[in-house]
Structure 1
Amino acid sequence: MTGTSEGPGATADGPGAVRKALRVLEALPDHGGVTELAAATGLPKSTVHRLLRVLVETGFARTDDSGYRTGDRVLALAGKVLYRFDPAVQADPALVRLRDDTGCTVHFAMRFGGELLYVHKVEPDKPYRMGSRVGMRLPWHTSAIGKAVLAELEPDAARALAGPGELPARTANSLTGWPELTAQLAEVRAAGHALDDGENEAGVRCTGAAVRDHSGAVVGGISVSTLALEHGMDELREFGPRVRAAAAEVSTALGHRR
């Protein structure tokens, strides 16, 4: 804050002043008044008012008839960040850790309109490779990631994505009735992760969990995939907490604040 009209007092706290300013800036999209911001940040109103003056002077905040608002400098900065933002790159560290922890293939898929597509895949060092590939479309009702996402949506939205009428079978294990799938989605919500017991591809099992973005919206999910000959369903269930933790890491990397 050096060089503002606040004088020496504005920089007296050094890093502490920066932290306080960031707290105010982070609360600004949801709170427009000094009193509200003070309550949201836990800072004295005098401190909030002083920091707001600096933020306005530097373009990171602005004022209107209803109070303070996020400034144009924040929007410009966000635009530059998003231009270079690649969700797959952001997710990679968590996916690599999950692969190393489980020894399984790890996938990251995202929603694009009404479709669910793989955007990243991390393979273990094994003599076989999964047939999945980046860009491949996933079915909503038979894949672990698809079910993990559907479980987080309102019933009407989930039904619209899964499709009308009887659901197509991918394997002999696929659920094709919406009532049966609805019951399974309730179990997914309770557990926090979904299972695919050879429902999408015969002989392949998966555990998946949903991923959220900065707005809290469910934008996709991650999964671990393995051969049924290598891991039983009990082991897949044991992977659940690890997959959920990795999904939370990816969500944080995408800006989600829990």
Structure 2
Amino acid sequence: MPRVVPAVTRALDILELFLDHPPLSAREITERLGLPRTTVHELLVTLVARSYLISVPGQPARFRLGMPVLQLGAAFAGQLDLVREAQDVAQDVAAACDEAVHVAVLNGTDVIYLVKVDSTHPVRMVSAVGRRLPAHCTAVGKILLSSLDPTDLDTRLPDGDLPGMTPDSITDVGRLRAELDRVRAAGVAVDDGESDSAVRCVGAPVRDHTGATVAAMSVSAPIIRWAPASHAEWTRLVREGAATLSTRLGYRTPA
């Protein structure tokens, strides 16, 4: 098996310190990693020479991340394929709950489904990749609407009533705003028969490397299988699945 190079590992350990900490001095790096002072000095000299670390202006003994780190991150983000990554994660979530799993993005006031993994049950929901639905009627749509800044949300919502899909759809804008407040606080959203009277869904946000919510994932099931225990389990699974997909897209949970 190929040998891991200790010097490279230590250099990466130093760089990763800066993910959670402000500018650091050589002494602080030495204390946090427990490495010999001379080793840290040599690694810092190398990282500074390659501009992966730079001295803080006015504080030459303290260091921060340099431009090549940003360039590598941007290259990584550019290579990501949301659909491919979402399909892999959605399959894992669907296997765990044996219910339909969707991943969708926001387009205007609608959501578009990018990924669907179906359940193996004979009774299942009817949906398809590429389908467009009013965002406010769906769990994924509520997640995505709740992530918008107030000005953006205002421009998307009508002055009058919203269109409904079922008798349970939210059609009052004021009521929708209150619902979105609850979604932001809870970190999950529920479609309680609002897009299909026979179906219930729970959704969670998917974030990219910048922390922006770029998609949402949901677990959907016919009402005949929607019970308090299963709802709690599916909420846990969709949270974990959305978090896993976010990590694949470069999101890093704040320390």
TM-score (norm 2): 0.76
Alignment of 1:83-122 (within 5 A): 83-111=78-106, 116-122=111-117
Q: Is 1:196 equivalent to 2:186 in the alignment?
A: no
Aligned length: 244
**Equivalent residues of 1:195, 1:237 under 8 A apart:** no
Deviations 1:28-55 (A, max 9, x none): 6898855299469935786555333323
Secondary structure class of the residue paired with 2:136? coil
- The 1:29/1:239 distance shift into structure 2, 3 A limit, reads closer
Pair 1:254-2:246 in alignment? no
Partners in 2 of 1:235 and 1:30 — Cα distance? 37
- The alpha carbon displacement at 1:65 in A equals 5.7
**Distance in 2, Cα, partners of 1:210 & 1:41:** 37
CA RMSD of the aligned region, Å? 3.5
Identity of aligned residues (%): 36
Is the alpha carbon distance of 1:96 and 1:26 closer, same or farther for their aligned partners in structure 2, counting shifts above 3 Å? same
Structure 1: 5+ residue stretches without partners: 1-12
**d(CA) in 2 for partners of 1:70, 1:171:** 53
Task: Decide which of 168, 182, 187 is 2:182's aligned counterpart.
Answer: 187
Please state how far the C-alpha of 1:197 moved relative to its aligned partner.
1.4
Name the CA distance, whole Å, in 1 between partners of 2:175 and 2:249. Answer: 33
* Contact map agreement 2:15 2:65 (CA 8 A) in 1: no
Query: Which residue, 67, 70, 74 being the options, matches 2:66?
Result: 70
C-alpha change, 1:174 and 1:42, in structure 2 (3 Å) is same
Question: 1:53 — aligned with what?
Answer: 45
Superposition map of 1:157-236 within 5 A: 157-232=152-227, 235-236=230-231
Q: Decide whether the 8 Å contact of 1:116 with 1:220 is kept in 2.
A: no
* Alpha-carbon spacing, 1:20–1:139, altered in 2? closer, same or farther (3 Å): farther
**Paired letter, 1:50:** E
* Letter of the 2:66 counterpart: T
Amino acid of the structure 1 residue aligned with 2:155: A
Equivalent runs, 1:136-151 vs 2, <5 Å = 136-151=131-146
Task: State the match for 1:239 in structure 2.
Answer: 234
**Cα 1:169–1:42, aligned 2, differ >3 Å: closer, same or farther?**
same
Query: Is 1:25–2:21 an aligned residue pair?
Result: no
Question: Greater CA deviation, 161-170 or 211-220?
Answer: 161-170
Q: State the SS of the aligned residue for 1:141.
A: helix
SS of 1:223's partner is strand
Once the 2 structures are TM-superposed, how far is the Cα of residue 64 of structure 1 from its aligned partner?
A: 8.9
Contact (CA 8 Å) 1:140, 1:161: kept in 2 or not? no
Deviation, structure 1 residue 192: 2.8
Aligned match of 1:81:
76
Q: Is the 8 A contact 1:38 1:48 kept in 2?
A: no
Alignment TM-score, normalising by the size of structure 1: 0.75
Does the aligned pair in 1 maintain the 2:113–2:129 contact within 8 Å?
A: yes
Distance change in 2, residues 1:34/1:192 (3 Å): closer
Tell me how far 1:199 sits from its aligned partner.
Answer: 0.5
